Homo-oligomer: A and B are copies of this chain.
Amino acid sequence: MLTVAAPVANAIDAFSRLPGIGPKTAARLAFYLLRAPEEDVLALSEAIRDLKERTLFCQQCFNIAEADPCAICASQERDRSIICVVEEPLDVLAIERTREFKGLYHVLHGAISPMDGVGPEQIKVAELLARLNVEPVAEVLLATNPNLEGEATAMYVARLIGPLGIRVTRLAHGLPIGGDLEYADEVTLTRALSGRQVMQ
């Protein structure tokens, strides 16, 4: 890459460190920005810097926020009797997009994975139990990922919460909407069968 100007090479290099962006996409992005209006480029640069400099973790739900407590934890309009437990801040965004859930969240920042050396003490499980002791929670909805680590984490947390007399629920498993039965994997199909519901 000797023949590329250093700032261009640096940008390509920095872009290609991002997940899912290979060297060709990185080059395309860099050359796109070279032709983009200066204010757009500076806006992107500043938005990235502000991600680190203007965010913190809410010390209640551990979601990423601008203030502590975060907007959701501080809101008077949320149902404080239900806490949705997710693995990552991105999952909060996904659930918020549905506009179906009106409760509070708790971000674990990971899932239990002995293979990767992640135990319960590496994620925010103790912090969840501490909340349940002081907050008036009636239900904990476990929304960890539907994979091995997510299921293990959900089961572990469910077992801890059980004795507290709080209702513990899990997101439903089954066929994705818009999906094709023919292409569904066996595990999903098994879950869809065992979780079948009476039609009204």
**Residues on A close to B: CB < 8 A?**
1-8, 10-11, 13-15, 17-20, 25, 27-34, 38, 40-55, 64-66, 70-72, 88-90, 92-93, 96
Question: Bound complex: CA of A6 vs CA of B55, how far in Å?
Answer: 9
Q: Is the CB of B15 within 8 A of A44?
A: yes
- 26 interchain pairs, CB-CB under 8 A: A1-B93, A2-B71, A3-B71, A3-B92, A5-B71, A7-B47, A7-B51, A8-B64, A10-B50, A11-B50, A11-B51, A15-B47, A17-B40, A17-B44, A18-B44, A19-B28, A27-B93, A28-B90, A31-B64, A33-B48, A34-B52, A34-B55, A38-B52, A41-B48, A41-B51, A45-B49
Residues of B within 8 A of A19 (CB): 28-29, 32
How many copies are assembled? 2
Question: Bound complex: CA of A32 vs CA of B49, how far in Å?
Answer: 13
Partner of A14, one of B43, B54, B92: B43
Residues of B within 8 A of A10 (CB): 43, 47, 50
